[in-house]
């Protein structure tokens, strides 16, 4: 399942730990506070169970956003860096 994870974590240690977890599960950074990748439902549930410890401040948040195949086809990316893509056939690049 294609999943985007976006976050706002104030503590540097918590943020760096979260980044390592996301990378360990195969997600790639596409923005400063955004990762994307294909993760099975069981691995996604496992990861979701581990990230709560990285939310320590009242303004901290982590969002897991599933992206279905239809939504991928409706996604438009404005970027000169095509490396942000997982599979460029499923996105409209401008």
Report d(CA 26, CA 71) in Å as an integer: 21
42-63: per-residue pLDDT in tens?
Answer: 999 999 999 989 999 899 999 9
The whole domain housing 8 covers 2-68
Q: Domain with 21 in it: what CATH number?
A: 3.30.70.240
User: How many domains, in total, are found in the chain?
Assistant: 1
Question: 38: left (phi > 0), else alpha (psi -120 to 50), else beta?
Answer: beta
Residue 78 lies in a domain: no
- Residue 71 reports pLDDT greater than 70: yes
Report d(CA 8, CA 78) in Å as an integer: 22
Task: Supply the pTM of this predicted model.
Answer: 0.83
- Residue 89 reports pLDDT greater than 70: no
Residue 64 lies in a domain: yes
22-49: per-residue pLDDT in tens?
Answer: 999 999 998 999 999 999 999 999 999 9
């Amino acid at each position: 399942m294609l999943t985007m994870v976006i976050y706002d974590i104030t503590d540097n240690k918590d943020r760096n730990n979260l980044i390592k977890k996301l990378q360990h599960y195969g997600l790639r950074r596409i923005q400063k506070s955004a990762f994307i990748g294909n993760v099975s439902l069981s691995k996604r549930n496992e990861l979701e169970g581990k990230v709560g410890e990285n939310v320590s401040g009242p303004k901290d948040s982590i969002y897991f956003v599933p992206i279905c195949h239809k939504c991928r086809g409706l996604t438009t990316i404005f970027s000169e860096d095509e490396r942000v893509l997982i599979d460029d056939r499923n996105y409209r690049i401008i």
